Structure 1
Amino acid sequence: MSKASDLRDLLADGDTLTIICHNNPDPDCLASALALGRIAAAVGIDDRRILYSGDVSHQQNRAFVNLLDIDLQPFDPTLVRDREPGSLLAFVDHAVPGANNRVPEGTPVDVVIDHHPADEIEARFVDHRESAGATATILTEYVRELAVETDAALATALLFAIRRETLGFLRGVTRAEYDAAGYLHEHANDDLLARLSTPSVSGATLDAIATAIQNRTVRGAALISHVGRTTDRDSLPQAADYLATLEGVETAVVFGIVEASIHVSARSTDPRVHIGDALAEAFAGVGSAGGHREMAGGEVPLGIFADYTTDDTQLLAIVEQIVTARLVAGLNLTEGEAGDEE
């Protein structure tokens, strides 16, 4: 039997389905959750919900939720903890309880569908494809095989997610993404795709990107920068995307303080660098970090730094020094490279 058939059979035995998005969900996660919900509806599960934690703050993500009318609910631990028989729990675009989600470690999971690197995935149904360019690609395969109705909203969501996750079919793309896009294109709403692609940008995002540009330091082919303290977590990946286009730069890493954590976002086209592994090594033991060869992120609790001082200016200086040193070590930059500043 195929993976799609296995998933259908498992869902057919359920009465309710709770789909957990990872923290601060992006279009790939949201579209995949929407598609899984449609599959569950097709096999007779009427009680379905999509839960998220963190924020939907990126202007593109907010537009995605609003324009596609995705019904999201804030994470409710009771829906995970107090499950009745027949109540199914699913993860999309992430895989492990407690890792980039608020589900307690060790919680039994029924369904995991993901394309990110992960170890020791435990669930009744697992489809983990690191080779896939997007989790939405996998869900598109299921929708097609199971003949789930693909209306304009679902097709637009999945197609936009694949385009966004692969940076317009330029990053981590495989033939499966092209096949999925060819199918979805026939059903998607072109006007809606255009609106999703060009959302308005907030002043906080522009300020953070401007700060990252000003604070950049180039070390060989690597660029490291920070935005200081910001309320806009999603400005970090946008700043990393922009700075990665600087001439001569193959790896860009941007970090900043958001509330009580340090957030890190990185991009790399350097064939010598697996940026996910580099971040994981840089912040091992102090936070969680990792990702793909070309795109990665991480989060470090601020508490380990806040113990040094209560003065915010001093705190920012300490964070900049320590985080930069860890990144230099994680990226294996030489002394000469570390001295080339801009």
Structure 2
Amino acid sequence: MADVHELQSLLGSGEELTIVCHNNPDPDCLASALALGRLAAAAGIDERRILYSGEITHQQNRAFVNLLDVELKPFDPELVVDRSERSLLAFVDHSVPGANNAVPEGTAVDIVIDHHPAEDVQARYVDHREGAGATATILAEYVRDAGLDVDATLATALLFAIRRETLGFLRGVTAAEYEAGGFLHGHANDDLLAKLSTPSVSGATVDAIADAIDNRSVTGSVLLTHVGRTSERDALPQAADYLVTLEGVQTAIVFGIIEDTIQLSGRSTDARINVGTVLNEAFGDVGSAGGHREMAGGEIPLGIFADYTSDDDQLVAIVEQVVRARLLAELKLSEEDGGE
């Protein structure tokens, strides 16, 4: 559970704080980083920075950064590896160096606050709650317990992150999310929340989601589909969120080829299936994959597939065959199990 005094003591021992986001950070990660930065400021740390790697492409994530004026800097390994004793390193919404982040494996971490499943989480201060619905929930507790002045920007960021991570308090939500929401509600800016909730969608994203709909196949209550090769990374989770609501579908897994990787996104409402475990067991030996029971993601290097053919259609067909076979095997399904 949150121990704000222990965290404040550690922050008070530092002169600067580097907060590293996970790759392609989402609102939960960004809001948590913003809140930890405020806690560090209250503890007397004047030099603070938030680093990210990958891209911020999802329209909600871009709107979040722009409307809330979150100051981000591209990941710089020198700020992480070659730091002084009083330069603290923190992870929010992820926990292990080299896993969904650009930090070299084995790097010593000072602070980890996360809600994603992970093993062997090590840091001087760890608050790792797999049962929490959002990392922003944990940070909201710290902000409340520290007695910080909560302005509209911070409250809006944390409240929106909790709402987005739990799909409007419907997915993976616990009592802690409702308590945090009650605490933040009176401080948040309703107009900003509305703008963040309804950002514009690019035509390329709509096209990618349309491809996922066209390419779908359903086996039992499991829907598998792909978007082919795309630059719209965030179309995958958006497609998965939409397709899992299809009548008769309880699990939806979407994949696509993005640059030199195969990206996957999964959603499930089936109590018998932990989609994070499914993706990890199916692809953990060839890439990184995992997440929660209801939602998960993965990334697999194209590797030898990239050298096999320069024809995108042929490449997609090969990748689809391999990905589909692995998923069906892990789910213990066969093509004869019925469906469309």
Does the pair score TM above 0.5?
yes
Q: Supply the distance in 2 between the matched residues of 1:23 and 1:335 (Cα, whole angstroms).
A: 35
Q: Which residue of 1 aligns with 2:246?
A: 246
Spell out, residue by residue over 1:264-295, the C-alpha distance to the aligned partner (whole angstroms, 9 max, x if none). 00000001100000000110211110000000
Q: For this pair of structures, how many residues does the alignment match?
A: 340
Q: Supply the distance in 1 between the matched residues of 2:92 and 2:62 (Cα, whole angstroms).
A: 19
Q: Which residue of 2 aligns with 1:3?
A: 3
Q: Which residue of 2 aligns with 1:233?
A: 233
Please report how far the alpha carbon of residue 149 of structure 1 lies from its aligned counterpart in structure 2 after TM superposition. 1.5
Q: Supply the distance in 2 between the matched residues of 1:240 and 1:195 (Cα, whole angstroms).
A: 23
Q: Supply the distance in 2 between the matched residues of 1:62 and 1:270 (Cα, whole angstroms).
A: 31
Q: Which amino acid aligns with 1:269?
A: T
The correspondence of residues 25-44 of structure 1 with structure 2, limited to 5 A, is 25-44=25-44
Q: Which residue of 2 aligns with 1:318?
A: 318
Q: Which residue of 2 aligns with 1:76?
A: 76
Question: What's the secondary structure of 1:101's corresponding residue?
Answer: coil
Q: Which residue of 2 aligns with 1:145?
A: 145
Q: Supply the distance in 2 between the matched residues of 1:3 and 1:54 (Cα, whole angstroms).
A: 32
1:290 paired with 2:293, answer no
Change (3 A) 1:261 1:114: same
Q: Which residue of 2 aligns with 1:261?
A: 261
Q: Supply the distance in 2 between the matched residues of 1:231 and 1:38 (Cα, whole angstroms).
A: 34
The correspondence of residues 192-231 of structure 1 with structure 2, limited to 5 A, is 192-231=192-231
Spell out, residue by residue over 1:199-248, the C-alpha distance to the aligned partner (whole angstroms, 9 max, x if none). 00001100000000000000000000000000010000000011111000
Q: Supply the distance in 2 between the matched residues of 1:323 and 1:186 (Cα, whole angstroms).
A: 46
Q: Supply the distance in 1 between the matched residues of 2:147 and 2:121 (Cα, whole angstroms).
A: 28
Please report how far the alpha carbon of residue 333 of structure 1 lies from its aligned counterpart in structure 2 after TM superposition. 1.4
Q: Which residue of 2 aligns with 1:23?
A: 23
Q: Supply the distance in 1 between the matched residues of 2:332 and 2:169 (Cα, whole angstroms).
A: 29
Please report how far the alpha carbon of residue 2 of structure 1 lies from its aligned counterpart in structure 2 after TM superposition. 5.7
Q: Which amino acid aligns with 1:262?
A: I
Please report how far the alpha carbon of residue 41 of structure 1 lies from its aligned counterpart in structure 2 after TM superposition. 0.2
Question: What's the secondary structure of 1:112's corresponding residue?
Answer: strand
* Runs of 5+ unmatched residues, structure 1: none
Spell out, residue by residue over 1:177-212, the C-alpha distance to the aligned partner (whole angstroms, 9 max, x if none). 000000100100000000000000001100000000
Q: Supply the distance in 2 between the matched residues of 1:335 and 1:64 (Cα, whole angstroms).
A: 42
Question: What's the secondary structure of 1:307's corresponding residue?
Answer: helix
Q: Which residue of 1 aligns with 2:124?
A: 124
* Runs of 5+ unmatched residues, structure 2: none
The correspondence of residues 133-212 of structure 1 with structure 2, limited to 5 A, is 133-212=133-212
Q: Supply the distance in 2 between the matched residues of 1:277 and 1:97 (Cα, whole angstroms).
A: 20
Q: Which moved more, 1:322-331 or 1:218-227?
A: 322-331
Q: Supply the distance in 1 between the matched residues of 2:212 and 2:148 (Cα, whole angstroms).
A: 44
Spell out, residue by residue over 1:33-83, the C-alpha distance to the aligned partner (whole angstroms, 9 max, x if none). 000000000010000000000000000000000000000000011101110
- Deviating above 3 A after TM superposition, structure 1's stretches of 4 or more consecutive aligned residues are none
Please report how far the alpha carbon of residue 85 of structure 1 lies from its aligned counterpart in structure 2 after TM superposition. 1.8
